[in-house]
Amino acid sequence: MSEPKKLYIKTYGCQMNVYDSERMSEALGGQGYVETKSPDDADMILLNTCHIREKAAEKVYSELGRFKGLKADNPDLKIGVAGCVAQAEGEEIMRRQPLVDLVVGPQSYHRLPEMEAKTRTGEKALDTDFPEEDKFEKLKNRPKAKRGPTAFLTVQEGCDKFCAFCVVPYTRGAEVSRPADRIIREAQDLVERGVREITLLGQNVNAYHGAGPNGEMTLAGLIWELNKVDGLERIRFTTSHPNDMSDDLIEAHGTCDKLMPYLHLPVQSGSDKILKRMNRSHTAESYLRLIERIRAARPDILMSGDFIVGFPEETEEDFQATMDLVEEVRYGYAYSFKYSTRPGTPAAERPQVDAEQADDRLQRLQGMITRHQREIQESMVGRKVSVLFEKPGRQPGQMVGKSEYLHAVHVASDAPSVGELRDVRIVASGANSLAGELL
């Protein structure tokens, strides 16, 4: 038998790309590839790109340029670009960087094996269509490799919301949901391979409306079905839009035992004027009332969010409204970004906020978020949590895992095995993790 070919994948962006990279690796596994950790000995290099930040495409071009030497040393090396920059730039990538053999958009990964074969004949392969078939179903024939205790599972893709700053509706296309039976089968398969916790993924995961046995199913309906999967211990989902937070999903947070008390619910701004200009179709007030209802269903739920500062026309007063909202919600985690223009989105045409002012606001917002994060972490000290252990810690004799609130927790013991759930008493709070003792 010939030696396996080596595949190097570099993944940027959101968890959906992480999931997609795993699927691409499995698809190319069928073509005789095994993954390698370095581009130096690879027969195929794939960049799975993200388009959400400024100059994303430029960074991809400069990264590609660095592979020139490798290609000179190994003429059989194939170079591919996948993900959201591939979708946005398409053929232009091959025009600007002739080193590239293959460009594949996020909806076409099931066609990778044919595309790879085409590159082996010396041709270029390009596919950025939005085909009708379920790409994940086509990617199914994968080896039953053992898995770690946590996994992502994409249930929904694309977005119809068209927030004025965002490229996702253009790069990932219209909102589509996978049928429930396929998701359940995939979950069962993951559990057989060692997975204990599944995070359901979608750009708008709570808009899920996949086909079920009795018509369309909501995300809550899907979660209740997954709750029945033996051996699966924890369910999470991300990312949600406030407008799709339906009553049955809020209720599930109070009643579904495997659904974890953590919710990522981006609001982006606390100013109604800015929210309107962002095309978010909710107000600060409606968001706060929504959180009240979620907390009534599950009082200890840990909230997380995303913020954009310096959106076009944001004044100091608008920014203060964001600070007020953060003060009121108190997030356990939050991600804040300085607005960056994405060509082709409506906000790109509008007058921009002064860069220094935006930096200053970002610092103030992050200061407040970090303070809340610390306070919430410290409030865990003395409490009993359940930890799913994932791996040995940095110090010898340590094990680390995640609590139900997604806090990293380490214990000074190697007794828990990987994939085991144990009760732990929190004894101290550090910068980015909690220390605990096994109970």
Query: Where on the chain is the footprint of ligand SF4 (CB under 6 A)?
Result: 159, 161-163, 166, 168-169, 203-204, 241
Nearer to ligand SAH, 111 or 241 (CB): 241
Taking CB under 6 A as the rule, does residue 266 contact ligand SAH?
Answer: yes
Nearer to ligand SF4, 120 or 161 (CB): 161
312: which 2 tokens?
């076009």
Q: For the chain, percent helix, then strand, then coil, each to nearest 5?
A: 40, 25, 40
Which range, of 120-128, 333-341, 349-357, 385-393, touches ligand SAH by CB under 6 A? 333-341
User: CA distances (Å), 225 to each of 181, 301, 334, 393, 431, in order?
Assistant: 10, 22, 30, 34, 37
**Phi, then psi, of 56 in degrees rounded to 5:** -55, -45
Task: Provide the minimum distance between the beta carbon of 329 and ligand SAH in the complex, in angstroms, as a whole number.
Answer: 15
Taking CB under 6 A as the rule, does residue 51 contact ligand F3S?
Answer: yes
Task: Provide the minimum distance between the beta carbon of 305 and ligand SF4 in the complex, in angstroms, as a whole number.
Answer: 12
Q: Which of 128, 206, 268, 386 binds ligand SAH (CB under 6 A)?
A: 268
Taking CB under 6 A as the rule, does residue 52 contact ligand SAH?
Answer: yes
Nearer to ligand SAH, 161 or 330 (CB): 161
Query: 337 is in the binding site of which of ligand SF4, ligand SAH, ligand F3S, none (Cβ under 5 to 8 A by kind)?
Result: ligand SAH
Calculate helix-pair angle for 316-329, 284-297, nearest 10 degrees.
10
Which range, of 3-11, 88-96, 338-346, 426-434, touches ligand SAH by CB under 6 A? 338-346
d(CA 59, CA 205): 29
Sign (positive or negative) of CA dihedral 399, 403, 406, 407: negative
Taking CB under 6 A as the rule, does residue 264 contact ligand F3S?
Answer: no
**200: β partners:** 153, 237
- For residue 320, the SS3 value is helix
Query: 169 is in the binding site of which of ligand SAH, ligand SF4, ligand F3S, none (Cβ under 5 to 8 A by kind)?
Result: ligand SF4
Taking a C-beta distance cutoff of 8 angstroms, is the pair 103, 86 a contact?
A: yes
All residues at 6 or more sequence positions from 246 whose CB lies less than 8 Å from its CB, including other chains:
206, 218, 219, 220
182: which 2 tokens?
């396929």
Query: 339 is in the binding site of which of ligand SF4, ligand F3S, ligand SAH, none (Cβ under 5 to 8 A by kind)?
Result: ligand SAH
Type of residue found at 216? E
Q: Which of 17, 108, 199, 203 binds ligand SAH (CB under 6 A)?
A: 203
Q: Which of 330, 337, 352, 381 binds ligand SAH (CB under 6 A)?
A: 337
Query: 50 is in the binding site of which of ligand SF4, ligand SAH, ligand F3S, none (Cβ under 5 to 8 A by kind)?
Result: ligand F3S
Phi-psi region of 12 (alpha: psi -120 to 50; beta: other; left: phi over 0): beta
d(CA 333, CA 189): 31
Nearer to ligand SAH, 206 or 386 (CB): 206
Phi-psi region of 37 (alpha: psi -120 to 50; beta: other; left: phi over 0): alpha
Taking CB under 6 A as the rule, does residue 167 contact ligand F3S?
Answer: yes
**Phi, then psi, of 326 in degrees rounded to 5:** -65, -40
Query: 253 is in the binding site of which of ligand F3S, ligand SAH, ligand SF4, none (Cβ under 5 to 8 A by kind)?
Result: none
User: Which residue of this chain has its Cβ atom nearest to ligand F3S in the complex?
Assistant: 13
Query: 16 is in the binding site of which of ligand SAH, ligand SF4, ligand F3S, none (Cβ under 5 to 8 A by kind)?
Result: ligand F3S
Task: Provide the minimum distance between the beta carbon of 211 and ligand SF4 in the complex, in angstroms, as a whole number.
Answer: 22
DSSP string, 142-186: -------SEEEEE-EE--S---TT--HHHHT-S-EE--HHHHHHH
Q: Which of 16, 82, 151, 275 binds ligand F3S (CB under 6 A)?
A: 16
Taking CB under 6 A as the rule, does residue 438 contact ligand SAH?
Answer: no
Residue 300: CB atoms within 10 A of its CB come to 10
Nearest to 329 by CA among 298, 297, 292: 292
Taking a C-beta distance cutoff of 8 angstroms, is the pair 308, 341 a contact?
A: no
Q: Which residues bind ligand F3S (CB under 6 A)?
A: 13-14, 16-17, 50-52, 83-84, 167-168, 171-172, 203
Q: Which residues bind ligand SAH (CB under 6 A)?
A: 52, 165-166, 168, 203-204, 239, 241, 266, 268, 306, 308, 337, 339-340, 342
